Amino acid sequence: MSDIKLQPNVSGSGVTTISSANTNNSVIWTFPDTASNATIGYLSPPLSGSPITSPYTLATTDVGLTVVVEAGGAITVPDAVFSPGNKLTILNNSSTTVTLTMSITTAYLAGTNTDQASLSLATRGVANILFLSSTVCVVSGNVTGVAPPPPPPSTYLFSSTLHDQYRLTPNNIQISSTYDIYVLSDIYSSGSPPFFNQFRKAILCKFDSDANLVWYKQIDSLDNYAYQRGLAIDSVTGNIVVSSNSVNGVGSTTGYIYFDSSGAITNQTMIDNPGHSFGQVSIAFDGSGYLHSVGSSDEYSYGAAYIRLDPTGVLDFSASYASSGAMVDIAIENNNVFIAQIVDGNVSYKKLAVSKFTSSGTHVWTRQLDYGSDVDLNVNAIAVDSAENSYIASYFNDPSTSAVSLLLVAYDTSGVLLYQTKISDSNAYIRPTGIAISSSGVVVVEASVYNQSVAFAVGLFGFDASTGASLFQSVISPTSGYDNDVVSLTTRISSNALYAVGRQYGEVSSYNRAGIFLARLPLNNSLLGSYTIAGVTYAYTALSYTQTATSWIGSALTPTFNPLTLTQSSLSATTSVPTLATASVTL
């Protein structure tokens, strides 16, 4: 093919001439010509579609263009998608930083030689990305690397925190990227023992990685009988959010109180479902700072309820469907949302269900599982791994043992049932209260265990994530104290260490006084033994309960979702600092 020469209506020997009908020299050519196969760059690169306001993964259609990100947006740079020499620009047109998740194999910040898993793009900042290959890129501009977390603690421990006068009932635990430990607890904080009919408030505690108490804040000015369960950490800002039901004496409300890492309240808001029974029990942040919250509402019969708040705490999404059940727990991975729930539909027994949504609230699939007869399956908790396999912990009154058995169910990212397995003993009641998945592929279910040998104790059950095979079983129970009672509440895994929290009776001479029990343990039974804290001796021993594969009936469910009738208003919660005492032992 001969050369292509652009000139004003003049022939030239040995060239191909593209001529204008005009005879002057003011000819304007517009490129690219989409009808040709030529690849021609831009003198003024256009924008790549509409501004990004939710999590977005870059695509080859963005090459050579400028991707504009606004409030709520976040960018993922995928692996094995782009070609050598591809370039694109990202503009953060918002008042906050934007997270660039570098899923590509290797991502260098220009001028450095360190692979970056995540980058922060400054407000009104520009980032330029040059791909050296499909798996390597260099990023320049107004970007900074996100500091890697410190190394995980090298020791394990038991710890207990006791309110000097009142009764604590912890119900959630979260671990930050720097291994700070946040525990949310109810606190019966008025009157004198006994406390069962006294006022209940909330207390948020922060511990360092060695379980040293950093600060604690009692949340006041809500309702005297509010129930607190939701606790979440925003990976974008580091803020911590507590959710509380029945705030301000109204049973149709849920309050959300935002704290910074020093314990100061930075934002608070209340969601009301007027005229209906409404409550939210579990919350989680996505990678863009949106808070997702699940629970129940009777606006559409007694049904599941799912809402979302934007990064400023403003309600921007709600969905509900009549399930005669409730959404009970939530987990988010790769900005996809997974929700465990209970449904019973038109039958008289409860069934397990799990749903997948996008972070914008689009329903992807729902699956349900039931025994096929009049046996209730009680759903407790969900965990999701990086491949978006979901693991659901539940329990049921087992007809084969006449006791209460633990059931673990796993689904893949498309909703295909991977396995279902139970742990049972004819003399034991095993009620799971939390579940977590490690990066090494270990699923741990924390459970409240009661049998003839121990009172209510913390049971820990480890499983191989890929097969469901039992890896270890253990139980932690006091052998001294008033009631010998440790009730497990929930669990988290960080850097392949297990964090378990529960309620401890017996640390003082009154049954009605209870403290927080906290443990950081390995994902095995290597530290079994006897440990004493503040005069209480704990037996950390192995179990040998029976594992059996189950064959419950699985099916797809296609719910019809409807928006809820919700209102939003401000809250005026305050905090105070009661007196707490702590004690711990290193394993």
Tokens of 233: 């950490």
Q: How far are the Cα atoms of 15, 225, 276 from residue 65, in angstroms, in the given order?
A: 32, 55, 49
Given a contact cutoff of 8 angstroms between Cβ atoms, the answer to whether 493 and 563 are in contact is: no
Query: Running DSSP on this structure, what letter comes out for residue 142?
Result: S
Rounded to whole angstroms, how far apart are CA atoms 25 and 6? Answer: 11
pLDDT in the model for residue 15: 44
DSSP E strand stretches across 399-485:
403-411, 417-424, 429-437, 442-450, 457-464, 470-478
Report the alpha-carbon distance of residue 137 to residue 131 in Å, rounded: 4
Confidence at 585, pLDDT banded by 50, 70, 90: confident
Q: What is the structure's pLDDT at 9?
A: 47
- Placement of tokens 């509402």 in the chain: 297
Three-state SS at 347 = coil
State which amino acid sits at residue 340.
A
For residues 75 and 69, is the Cβ–Cβ distance under 8 A?
A: yes
Tell me if 232 sits within 8 A of 259, measured CB to CB: no
pLDDT band for position 370 (50/70/90)?
A: confident
- How far apart, in whole angstroms, are the C-alpha atoms of residue 420 and residue 179? 32
Confidence of residue 532 (pLDDT cuts 50, 70, 90): confident
Kindly report, residue by residue over 221-232, the tens digit of the pLDDT: 665 555 667 999
SS in 3 state form for 55-117? EEECCHHHCCCEEEECCCCEEEECCCCCCCCCEEEEEECCCCCEEEEECCCEEEECCCCCECC
Is residue 145 a contact partner of residue 109, using CB atoms and an 8 Å limit? yes
Strand 126-131 to strand 87-92: parallel, antiparallel, or no bridges (unpaired)? antiparallel
Q: Give CA separation, 238 vs 92, 135, 246, in Å.
A: 20, 30, 26
| Angstrom distance (rounded) from CA 533 to CA 62 | 59
User: Which residues partner with 121 through β-bridges?
Assistant: 98, 143
Smallest CA-to-CA distance from 435 within 528, 516, 340 is with 340
Name which of 292, 294, 231 is nearest 258 in CA terms: 231
Structure tokens at 420: 């279902």
Instruction: Give me the long-range contacts of 475-479 (CB less than 8 A, separation at least 24).
Output: 475/449, 475/540, 475/541, 475/543, 476/158, 476/500, 476/519, 476/538, 476/539, 476/540, 477/538, 477/539, 477/541, 478/504, 478/506, 478/536, 478/537, 478/538, 478/539, 479/530, 479/537, 479/538, 479/539
Residues with Cβ < 8 Å from 73, sequence gap 6 or more? 51, 52, 53, 54, 55, 56, 94, 98, 288
Q: How many Cβ atoms are within 10 Å of 408's Cβ, its own excluded?
A: 23
The Cα 478–Cα 482 span in angstroms is 10
Q: What is the pLDDT of residue 346?
A: 56
Residue 18 has pLDDT above 60, yes or no: no
**Whether the domain at 39-145 and the domain at 225-377 fall into the same CATH topology:** no
pLDDT reported for residue 167 = 72
Computed over every residue of the chain, the mean pLDDT equals 83
Q: Tell me how far apart the alpha carbons of residues 538 and 525 are, in angstroms, rounded to a whole number.
A: 15
39-145, CATH topology level: Jelly Rolls (2.60.120)
- Binned at pLDDT 50, 70 and 90, residue 292 comes out as very high
Which residue has better confidence, 210 or 464? 464
Question: What is the arithmetic mean of pLDDT over 266-273?
Answer: 92
Q: Residues with Cβ < 8 Å from 181, sequence gap 6 or more?
A: 173, 174, 175, 206, 207, 208, 209, 211, 499, 518
DSSP state of 23: S
- Listed by start position, the domains of the chain span 1-30, 39-145, 225-377
DSSP string of 25-55? Answer: S--------TTSS-----SSPPB-SSPB-SE
Residue 339: per-residue pLDDT: 95
Reply yes or no on whether the pLDDT at 419 is more than 60.
yes
Greatest CA separation for the chain: 106
Q: Quick one: 225-377 is in which CATH superfamily?
A: TolB, C-terminal domain (2.120.10.30)
| DSSP letter string, 523-583 | SSSTT-EEEEETTEEEEEEE---EEEE--PEEEE--PPPB----EEEE---EEE---EEEE
